[in-house]
Amino acid sequence: MRTREIIAFFALIALILLAKYVLPHPMQFSPTLSLIIIILLSLTFIIIGVLTLQGKFVERRIVFIYVGAALTLPFFMQIELEVPISPEVQSAYDQIESLNPGSKILAAFDYDPPSAPELQPMADAFMKYCFHKGIKVIIMGLWPQGPQQAGQSVEAAFEDDPALRDKIRYGVDYVNLGFQSGNEFVILRMGESFKAMFPADIYGTPYDSIPILRNVKNYSNIDYCMNFSAGKPGTQEWVQGAVDRFGLKLSAGNTAVQAPMIYPYLQAGQLDGLMGGMAGAAEFEKLTGYKDKATTFIKSQSFAHIVVIVFIIIGNMAFLRGKTERKVK
């Protein structure tokens, strides 16, 4: 290892120790300090822009530092951002809001921990809303870790309102059927019989012994479906296999990578509502009234997006500058 790297390594260790044992916990910047930081960063953008126009291109890895700063610094800033509600998230919320207490909703958790930063906040808000409204939730997953993420949502709901622990009963108000492999074939088979795919719940309790599943044979016996999806199998398979084939009513929460591919289904009316990525999660949290991580993270997200936009502009300035120079030569 070179000297520079050894120094960097020990500097990192020192920073970690400083953060852990010296800095105040939790750490918060005052509004004045936050404003000063934002102004200073903006000035550096202007400097970089000017240098670029002069043909003095900066090291491209500086983008990593700026994105890192844009994502990290808002954690400590006391900023409130207004989250406008998009029609597709409003539509998803309206569908759930229209359900009566006692209605049964099938919640398909089709994601794993790597996608949790985007999907867990919307899943948490969904679960809290259903429990408070008295909507019964039937949980299942086409991804192995999906049901355990659902368990985290249930736990989050109980931590948010400890009174729910006594009020909400497993097997009566919600059930976790667990994971079943088979992807879209599971969806198709559930159209005839849930029990065929889930003979017991995640704890091994037989299907017929679970009160909430009494009279639930297939999709025609549930009132709505909510899907949280990070890829395949996911929303696309639910639309193709359950909505178009069995007439299931469905709204979905997707990672931002997947959302553009799902919009055609929303536009065609195959999907009632769609929550896309962190922004969709923040909007849903606002609508349900359970503001949590997504609402906090959206600040950092917004700043990071501004940084990306600025660097796209600077990058295009560099490109046009280079093109002009080549023409002159």
Partner 1 sequence: MSWEQTFGIWLAAAFTLGIVSFLYRDNIFYKVCEAIFVGSSAGYWFVTYFWDNLYRKFYLQAFDPVSPHIAPWVGFILGVLMLTRLFGAKIAWLSRWPLAFIIGATAGVYMMFYFVSNAMLQIGASIKPVFVGSFGDIVSNVLIAAGTFCGLVYFFFSKEHKGVFGGAARVGIWFLMVTFGASFGYTVMSRMSLMLGRLDFLFGDWLRLIS
Partner 2 sequence: MKDYHRPQLLFQIFILPLVVILSLTSALTAQEQPVIPADSIIHIPAPTSNVVAVDYVYDRGETVELTWNLSPDDTIGGRIDGYELTRIEQSTGKMDTLEVIPAGISYYKDDKLTHGHKYAYLIRSVYFGAKSSPVSSNIITPSIEIINWRLANLFAIAFILCGSVIYFIAHAKKGKKLFIRKIAGLEAIDEAIGRATEMGRPILFVPGINDMDDVQTIAGITLLSRVAKVVADYDIRINMPVSRSLVMTTARETIKEAYIGAGRPDAYNDDMVRYITDEQFGYVAAVDGIMVRDKPATCFYLGAFFAESLILAETGNSIGAIQIAGTAQPAQLPFFVAACDYTLIGEELFAASAYLSNEPKQLGSLKGQDVGKFVAMIAIVIGVLIATLAELTGSSSLENLSEFMNRLFTIVS
Q: Does 31 bind partner 2 (CB under 8 A)?
A: no
158 token code pair:
């109980």
Q: Does 263 bind partner 2 (CB under 8 A)?
A: no
Q: What is the DSSP string of 227-243?
A: EEESSSSSHHHHIIIII
289 binds, among partner 2, partner 1, none (CB under 5 to 8 A by kind): none
Q: Which residues bind partner 1 (CB under 8 A)?
A: 5, 12, 16, 19-20, 23, 25-27, 61, 64, 67, 71-72, 75-76, 114-118, 144, 179-181, 184-185, 188, 236-237, 239-241, 243-245, 255-257, 259-260, 264-265, 267-270, 276-279, 293, 297, 300-301, 304-305, 308
Q: Does 245 bind partner 2 (CB under 8 A)?
A: yes
Rounded to whole angstroms, the Cα distance separating 231 from 258 reads 7
The one among 17, 261, 309, 320 contacting partner 2 by CB under 8 A = 261
Q: Does 217 bind partner 2 (CB under 8 A)?
A: yes
> E-assigned strands of the chain?
104-110, 136-141, 174-179, 224-229, 250-254, 273-276
Give 29 or 246: the residue with its C-beta nearer to partner 2.
246
CB 281 within 8 A of CB 253: yes
Dihedral sign for Cα atoms in the order 232, 269, 106, 297: positive
Q: Phi first, then psi: give them for residue 134, nearest 5 degrees.
A: 85, 20
246 binds, among partner 1, partner 2, none (CB under 5 to 8 A by kind): partner 2
104 token code pair:
């049964």
114 binds, among partner 2, partner 1, none (CB under 5 to 8 A by kind): partner 1
Q: Does 18 bind partner 2 (CB under 8 A)?
A: no
Rounded to whole angstroms, the Cα distance separating 252 from 284 reads 12
Which residue ranges make up the site for partner 2 (CB under 8 A)?
215, 217, 220, 244-247, 257-258, 260-261
